[in-house]
Amino acid sequence: MPVQQTATDLPPLRQSLFPAPPVAKQVPVEHVRHGETWVDPYDWLRDKDYPKVDDAEVLDYLKAENAYTDTVLGKEEDGLRASLFAELKGRVKEDDTGVPYPRGAYIYQSRFAAGQDHPTFVRRAKGEAEGSEKTILDVNELAKGKDFYDVEALEPSPDGRYLAYSFDDNGSENFTIVVKDLTSGEFVGEPIPGTSGSVVWAADNKTLFYVLKDESQRPKQVMRTVLGAKADAGTLVYEEQDPSWWVGIGESQSGRFIEIGSGTLVSSETLLIPSDNPTAKPKPVIPRRENHLYSVADQGDSLWILSNDKHLNFRLLKTPINDWSEKAWTEVMAGSDRQYLTGLLALKDWLVVFGRQDGTQQVWVLDNKGGSHTIAFPDAAFAVSGMNNEEYETGTLRVRYHSLVTPPTVFDYDLAARTLTTRKVQEIPSGYDPSLYTSERLMAPARDGTPIPVSIVYRKDVKKDGKAPMHLYGYGSYSIAMEPGFSTNRIGLLDRGFVYAIAHIRGGEEMGRPWHDAGRLTNKPNTFNDFLDVAQFLVSQGYTSPGQISIEGGSAGGTLMGAVLNMASDGMFAGAVAHVPFVDVLNTLFDDTLPLTTGDYPEWGNPNIKEIYDVMKTYSPYDNVTKRPYPPILITAGLNDYRVTYWEPAKWAAKLRVYKTDDNVLMLKTEMSAGHGGSTGRFDKLKEVALSQAFILRAHGMSK
């Protein structure tokens, strides 16, 4: 018998307390792989006309699932979801402005107005007074009447007259490039559709470079065009022939070179074109070779190179700008097990190197006289990145800094004086007192003895008596680190007594490049085992107890959720949130017509290889659903998501419903006009967070 919901009296997430959920029909399809037969009863959920999705039966099923989610968790505008949204919105400064930054002859700035979902971009000429800014792009105007709107690139021409930008209005990540004359306000030439979103100007203020995608959504062709040209009038500059390699473009910090970067997770190649000679043939810095990653930055008469040729964690090299051959290289920073180099920023008189020291982020500064130092930051564990560094001839580095207890702070660092100046600290209108919270960095022993870093934050009044609810987050793939950073969205959980933990499991890059290798290909099961071992460790340390832990992950972190739900001991988890989860691993990676499949082989492996297949079939979440109890689960998807196609979470949800032996609720929420990243508007995103948090609280038996 369904229970009437109120904000203060909400039923447990037991299926028997709600109307019956949707049931997807079963149409068995057989696949034979390495002599083994696999039956897929939900193959029909993949629209045969994909990427167009107009199959009425498929759409009706997804809509029925959305309606069921609203039945269980309440509608967006009612009850707990509405109150959580109001709480989350109360932490957002509505009339917010970014810190102004110089670029060319102008000072640029982004602004949010109260009630607006999207930013407005303004600028003023250098030397003009603050307050004289003029709007160059109002994204709110562009997004009017659209359920989804995302601006990717925003590139003024070197002389500042033109603005090239790219937009996606359906979440498919197919971006259209347009050029606006900022003098007249008129658009120039025809829009260019089907691009990856990046756009780069040559020095002549009239030549543009962009990247076209192929029919499988892979960025493949670098094109060159001129102002005012027709959309199809571009000239092919470079075409990536290997379907497992993707291509991108950029501009060097000095503005001297157009950069073409092509690569996979484990190999890369950079080609340069002089910006003042845009029709020149691209020249590779180091011709591609297997398992070699590198990046470059030009500075004066030198070219800097980060290369992992001698050590997985990279070394820093210097070579003459006119001689890139290996015999001309000089090693400046050697590769090290403790030191991981991840990025370069070359200014006229300074080189800034981003990376990690013993797992913690670090920024090294090298001057033009051979001296070096590291930047001292306030916290022991933190997240830092460069931002809005658009000038080459400058002695100031701008960074965005935050920690688990420190709100995002914009610092300007004087490279010569070695001083940090605070330019902005994120305001939290509803209030935030960092002294109420504490954070820790722990090392949890994995089952093979490897210490796994764990970042934790909680209120100081939480007791370590095993009674606290815990929310545990993980990712662990693609050499992506989950930084111990700040989130205003997390405050509500902390204030309700939660311990929030991030498991820095193998497959990411928190402990350097070998950390990634230890969680990919045939080592991929380490990722899932690490997460379970971290959860068990946190229980043993008194932070929480079995049944008091909710878990969350997205995309490849959704693979993690699916795998550990199949593996965990009964009653370990209170609930799980899986965002756009990559769960149909075998079916997807056997299908090389899908956008990401061949590019994913360095991470997961190619299942056509028997050794890879034998490991993959042990963890593929969809294929390992069994008759067993599962905790309450919330699954999200995006109908226009080409990274994790909508049918993966839909098939997984349908199969879980049939197999699970418990009385716990399972929900699937599909955004019908969004892609992999969900909504783009800042308040629409908060509605998605409110949905997840309503589920998390309910999974822990909380009603408000």
Strand pairing class (302-307; 120-125)? unpaired
Q: What is the mean pLDDT of the chain?
A: 95
The whole-number pLDDT of residue 217 equals 87
Higher pLDDT pick, 170 / 481: 481
The residue-averaged pLDDT of 263-269 equals 96
Catalytic, out of 311, 471, 504, 676: 676
389-394, long-range: CB < 8 A, 24+ apart: 389/253, 389/345, 389/347, 390/101, 390/102, 390/103, 390/104, 390/108, 391/102, 391/103, 391/347, 392/253, 392/254, 392/255, 392/347, 392/348, 393/347, 393/348, 394/347, 394/348
Contact 482, 475 (CB under 8 A): yes
The mean per-residue pLDDT over the stretch 505-527 comes to 97
State the pairing for strand pair 235-239/246-251.
unpaired
Helix (H, G, I), strand (E, B) or coil at 133: coil
Active site residue 676: yes
pLDDT score of 636: 97
Is 307 one of the annotated active-site residues of the chain? no
pLDDT, average across residues 205-209: 98
Q: Which two tokens stand for residue 352?
A: 């800034």
Average pLDDT estimate for 529-558: 98
- 267, 268, 555, 692: the catalytic one is 555
Which residues, at least 6 apart from 11, have a Cβ–Cβ distance to it below 8 Å? 3, 5, 17, 18
| Residue 381 or residue 686, greater confidence | 686
CA 14, 15, 21: angle at the middle one, nearest 5? 155
For residue 46, give the nearest of 563, 652, 507 by alpha carbon: 652
∠ CA 620-621-623, rounded to 5°: 70
Residue 428's pLDDT is 97
Query: What domains sit in the chain, N to C, each tagged with a CATH number?
Result: 15-90+431-699 (3.40.50.1820), 146-292 (2.130.10.120)
Check if the beta carbon of residue 646 is closer than 8 Å to that of residue 656: no
On the question of pLDDT at 4 being above 50, the answer is: no
Burial class (CB in 10 A: 0-12, 13-18, 19+), 185: exposed
**pLDDT at position 5, please?**
39
- pLDDT of 201 above 80: yes
Q: Token pair for residue 47?
A: 């629209």
Read off the pLDDT band of 380 (50, 70, 90): confident
Question: Among the options 169, 641, 679, 700, which is catalytic?
Answer: 641
Cα–Cα distance for residue pair 527/548, rounded to 1 Å:
22
The pLDDT tens digits for 430-476 are: 999 999 999 999 999 999 999 999 999 999 999 999 999 999 999 99
Residues β-bridged to residue 667 = 634
Please return the burial class of 242, using the count of CB atoms within 10 Å of its CB with bins 0-12, 13-18 and 19+: middle
Dihedral sign of CA atoms 642, 648, 654, 656 in order: negative
Residue 476, sorted as left (phi over 0), alpha (psi -120 to 50) or beta, turns out to be left
Would you place residue 643 in the very low, low, confident or very high pLDDT band (cuts 50, 70, 90)? Answer: confident
Find the mean pLDDT for residues 317-321.
Answer: 98
Q: Is the pLDDT of residue 6 over 80?
A: no
Q: What are phi and psi of 73, to 5 degrees?
A: -100, 0
Q: What is the rounded CA–CA span in Å between residue 497 and residue 489?
A: 14
Cβ atoms of 240 and 233 within 8 Å: the answer is no
pLDDT at residue 88 is higher than 50: yes
Which pLDDT band holds residue 653 (cuts at 50, 70, 90)? Answer: very high
Quick one: tokens of 198?
């990046």
Confidence of residue 3 (pLDDT cuts 50, 70, 90): very low
Q: What does the pLDDT look like over 55-84, one tens digit per residue?
A: 999 999 999 999 999 999 999 999 999 999
- Above pLDDT 90, what percent of the chain? 92
Residues sharing a CB contact under 8 Å with residue 469, sequence separation 6 or more, in sequence order: 496, 497, 498, 499, 544, 548, 549, 550, 574, 700
| Catalytic site includes residue 641 | yes
| Predicted model pTM | 0.94
- Side-chain-side CA neighbours of 610 within 13 Å: the count stands at 3
Short-list 357, 355, 359, 358, CA closest to 384: 355
Q: Is residue 305 scored above 70 in pLDDT? A: yes
pLDDT recorded at residue 7? 42
The proportion of the chain whose per-residue pLDDT surpasses 70, expressed as a percent, equals: 99
The vertex-159 CA angle with 153 and 160, nearest 5°, equals 50
Identify the pLDDT of residue 1.
31
Residue 134 has pLDDT above 70, yes or no: yes
397-403 CB contacts, 8 Å cutoff, 24+ apart: 397/345, 397/347, 397/350, 397/352, 397/365, 398/99, 398/101, 398/423, 399/363, 399/375, 401/377, 402/426, 402/485, 402/486, 403/378, 403/379, 403/439, 403/484, 403/485, 403/486
Contact between 669 and 690 (Cβ < 8 Å): no
Rg from Cα positions in the chain: 26
